[in-house]
Amino acid sequence: MSYLVLKTIHLISVIAWFAGLFYVGRLFIYFNEAKSYEKVKKKILQDQFLLMTKRCMYIITWPSLILSTFFGLYMIHKNPSLIYLNWMIVKLIFVTVLIFYTAYCQKIYFQMKKGSIKFSDFKLRLWNEFATLLLISIVSLAVLKTTMSWLKASVIFLVIGILLFSLIKIYRSYINSKAN
| Span 4-31, pLDDT tens digits | 999 999 999 999 999 999 999 999 999 9
In this predicted structure, the answer to whether residue 147 has a pLDDT above a threshold of 80 is: no
In this predicted structure, the answer to whether residue 150 has a pLDDT above a threshold of 70 is: no
**35, 16, 66, 56 alpha-carbon torsion, rounded to 10°:** 30
| Span 58-104, pLDDT tens digits | 999 999 999 999 999 999 999 999 999 988 998 999 999 999 999 99
State mean pLDDT over 102-107.
98
CA distance 118 to 24: 16
Mean pLDDT of the chain: 91
CA distance 80 to 82: 5
Residue 179: per-residue pLDDT: 67
Our separate counts of H helices and E strands in the chain read: 6, 0
The total domain count for the chain is: 1
Segments forming the whole domain that contains residue 132? 3-179
In this predicted structure, the answer to whether residue 136 has a pLDDT above a threshold of 80 is: yes
